[in-house]
Every structure is written in C-alpha cells, then in structure tokens.
Amino acid sequence: MSASEPSGAGGVPWQRIFDQAAAAMAILDLQGRYLHVNAALCRLLGYRSEELEGRDYRDFTHPDDIDDEGPVESEHPLEKRYIRSDGSLIWALVARTFIRDPDGTAVYFLSQIQDITQRREAELLWQRSFANAPIGMALLDLKGSWTAVNDTLCSMLGYSREEMLSMSFADVTYEEDEAPGMTALEDMASGLVDSVNLEKRYRHKDGRPIWMLIRATAVPGADGTPAYVVSQYEDIGEQRMVDAHLAHLALHDPLTGLANRALLADRLDHGLQQLERGNGVLVVVLADLDQLKPTNDRYGHAVGDQLLIAAAREIQQAVRAGDTVARLGGDEFVVVSLLPDAAAAEQLRNRVEDHLNTEVVVHGVMVSLQASVGYAVTSDPTDAPDALLHRADREMYASKRRRREANGGR
C-alpha cells in the first residue's frame, strides 16, 4: 500500500465498509485532494469516483464557501454548498476529522457529508416568510422574552429590533391585560395547550395603546416538550373601534347618546334581579318634555334637537354615575336606579324634575326647558318591567295635569 493511501486492518475490510456506507464519505490528503470517495458521495455529487479522486475538494465547492486556508479539523460540523455535476447546488453539513498514524501525526482527513438541502430551503423559506410577513411575527422563549422579531412588529410598536430583543412581551403590555397573556404562556409552556388566540393591548413606544389579535403556538424541541413560542400579531384597533361603535349604536339613542329601549329593558331586568338579594328598592323615573313641539314650531327642528340634548345633559347631572338614563323616543326620558329606600327614590325624582325645569341656551337662543315627571318604586323582584313603566307613566300624567291646573289650564 502506497504512502498516499491509508492503511487498514488487512487492507480490504476498511475499504469495503467505507464504500458500502450509507453516508457520503471521503478521505483526503492534508492538501485537500480526494484520495478515496465512496458510492454515496458519488451519488450525492453526480460524479464517478475516478472523476473525483485526485481532485481538490475546492473544485466542487461553491466559490463563496471555499476556505482558503485548506481543510482543517473542526470541532463542530460546518455548512457549505457543493456544485453537482449538472451545475445545481446542494447544501451539506460537513464533519472533518484527522486520521492519524501510530505516532499521532495527522496524515489524512476523513470527511463525512450530509445533504441538508431540503432543511436549508425550508429554513430559507421560513426566514423570508418571517422577515417579509405583512403581519407582526416573533419568536419568544418560554419566559416571554422576544428572541426574534420581524420589521412589521417593530414598526407596529415603534421600537427598534435591538430594543425589542432586550424586552419581554410583559414590558409593553398594559397591566390590566397582562394576566391573560401570562396565563396563556404558562399553559403553552406546560404543554396544557398547543396554541392560543387572545386580544390584548400593547403600549406603543410613544405611549398610545394598540389593540392586538395574537395567535401564539408552542413549538416542541427534540424531546417533544415545548421549546419556544412563535406568535403572529395583527393590529385590530380600528376594527375594535368599528365594532364598539356598532355595538353602541345598537343600544343607544343616536341623538343624545342615552340608552335606547333595548338597553333600558336589560337594565330593568338587571335591577329587578338585584332586588332578589334584598338590595333596597328599584325606582323608575319617567319624564316628558312639555315644550318640545312649541320649540320645534317656533325655532325649527335643529333647535328642538338641541333641546333634547340639553335635557339629556340635565338628567345626567341629576343622577348617579351607575344609574341608567334612556330616551324612549320623541320627548320621553327614563331613569332606572337602585336606591336604599323609598325616600331616596322620591329625592331622585325631585332632582330630575328640578333639572328639567330651567332655562337653557341652545343655538344662542334662551329656551325654557319644562317637563312633567313621574316615578314608580318597587321592592318586589317579581314586578314586571312594563308594569313599572306604566305606573311611572300614569304618575307623570298626573303631574302634567297638576301643572296645567296650576297654570290655569294651559
């Protein structure tokens, strides 16, 4: 056996094992020339053994991946590209180790080559998809720190990539929204769930809130347990405002912003349910404006609308923050309130009447705001909402008659 060939046990067995190995392998001299190549490497590169042996490995290496210092033993496998016989490229993971003589002197290199083209193409596809996604994307560790973020997410939150990678999602989450996010992360980290969807507010670098729809998925590691989390982020602030606006319109009077009939019915039902716990009395105050039609006839409907808005404002000043104020349409208003006793209910009725009988300025015109007010009180949770409104309506008309009689029938 010549000095250019590695020796083996008996000279033949090593070569038989080498040639029949499933992994692509080559033996090179210290200058980088192929001395022996096995069939797997020939299939990988598309050459016959005689076309490879005696040639420098750099002849088949992509120019950008050539190591000018020549082959060296590497502690870790290196990734590089080879040029196949048809001109196509493959990505390979290359492990190099010395073959030493009995004195320990390196005399050859053993190169083991694994085709990782599909893996690299998948990684490249993921990297490009991640970087160029029109939505925010990020990788997080199981403690919630960002380990990779794309430009879209940085732009959405106003931070540079360096700033983002120094923070966790908790650093930009509103305190009120932090608990659901932490719970979701803990559930994924423990393997309880694979993915979660949630809506929460992030704080932009300039301080304003951003509503986000977040889709997060736990990615398992080699042992099958969650290793990290990949998340997608969509700014849904505008949609939430649209949804909130539509929901508001469905339950509120468009002119005054007060509750409408649908919301009033819900608040009445809720108030009656509260009475089952012995929570005082439920009072329904009903007010009817006396001067809306004359105001419309004299000044026009624009001033009449402003009178309604002024009346709504006056009622809101007469009630507590938790009370419900509704407009039934036309010139009728209703207040629903839970109060300690009947005396407090009468005081509320009187405050509403005082606020609705005053002078207000609308469109630069001083207009007399006058209203007749009635009320009904109950401590019985089985009372029907319509019956309460009817009793308040009857009491209001009795008040209107008394007012007219006091004014000589006018």
pLDDT at 410: 54
Q: How far is CA 280 from CA 33, 97, 144, 268, 392, in A?
A: 97, 87, 48, 15, 18
User: What's residue 257's pLDDT?
Assistant: 86
If pLDDT is split at 50, 70 and 90, which confidence band does 10 have? very low
The residue-averaged pLDDT of 364-383 equals 87
Q: What does the pLDDT look like over 113-165, one tens digit per residue?
A: 999 999 988 888 888 989 999 999 999 999 999 999 999 999 999 999 999 99
Q: Beta strands of 253-353 (E only): which ranges? A: 281-289, 324-329, 332-339
Residue 309 in this model has a pLDDT that exceeds 60: yes
Residue range(s) in the chain whose domain bears CATH number 3.30.70.270: 252-406
CATH class, domain 13-120, is: alpha beta
List, for residues 230-241, the tens digit of each pLDDT value: 999 998 876 665
**Residue extent(s) of CATH 3.30.450.20 domains in the chain:** 13-120, 133-236
Would you state the pLDDT for residue 220? 92
Of 138-147, 169-178, 301-310, give the lowest mean pLDDT range.
301-310
In whole angstroms, what is the distance from residue 270 CA to residue 252 CA? 17
pLDDT of residue 230: 95
pLDDT recorded at residue 240: 61
Helix, strand and coil in the chain, % to nearest 5: 40, 30, 30
Q: Hey, what amino acid is at 252?
A: H
What pTM does this model have? Answer: 0.49
* Mean pLDDT, range 198-222, rounded to an integer: 89
pLDDT band at 9 (very low <50, low <70, confident <90, very high): very low
Which of 62-71, 313-322, 333-342 is modeled with the greatest confidence?
A: 333-342
What number is the average pLDDT over the span 15-39? 91
pLDDT mean over 340-366: 88
CATH domain 133-236 topology: Beta-Lactamase (3.30.450)
**DSSP readout, 163-221?**
HHTTSBGGGGB-HHHHHHHHHHHHHHHTTS-SEEEEEEEEE-TTS-EEEEEEEEEEEE-
Q: What are phi and psi of 240, to 5 degrees?
A: -65, -35
Say what percent of the chain tops pLDDT 70: 90
Give CA–CA dist 218/214, Å, rounded. Answer: 13
pLDDT value at residue 293: 73
DSSP code per residue over 116-174: -HHHHHHHHHHHHHHHH-SSEEEEE-TTSBEEEE-HHHHHHHT--HHHHTTSBGGGGB-
Among 33-37, 181-185, 298-302, which is the least confidently predicted range? 298-302
Q: How far apart are CA 231 and CA 164, in angstroms?
A: 14
What is the three-class DSSP state of 34? strand
| Cα(122)–Cα(149) distance, integer angstroms | 19
pLDDT average, residue stretch 271-287:
88
Report pLDDT digits (tens) over 212-230: 899 999 999 988 999 999 9
Q: What is the mean pLDDT of residues 386-393?
A: 93
Q: What is the pLDDT, as a whole number, of residue 407?
A: 67
Pick the CATH number of 252-406 from 3.40.50.920, 3.30.70.270, 1.10.510.10, 1.10.150.20: 3.30.70.270
Higher pLDDT: 227 or 10? It is 227
| Residue 162, number of CB atoms within 10 A of its CB | 8
Q: What is the pLDDT of residue 1?
A: 39
Separation CA 403–CA 410 (nearest Å): 9
Summarize the confidence of residues 166-191 as an average pLDDT. Answer: 90
CA angle 72, 76, 77 (to 5 degrees): 80
> What is the predicted pLDDT for the residue at 3?
41
Average pLDDT over residues 239-254: 66
pLDDT band for position 326 (cuts 50, 70, 90): very high
- For residue 25, list its beta bridge partners: 112
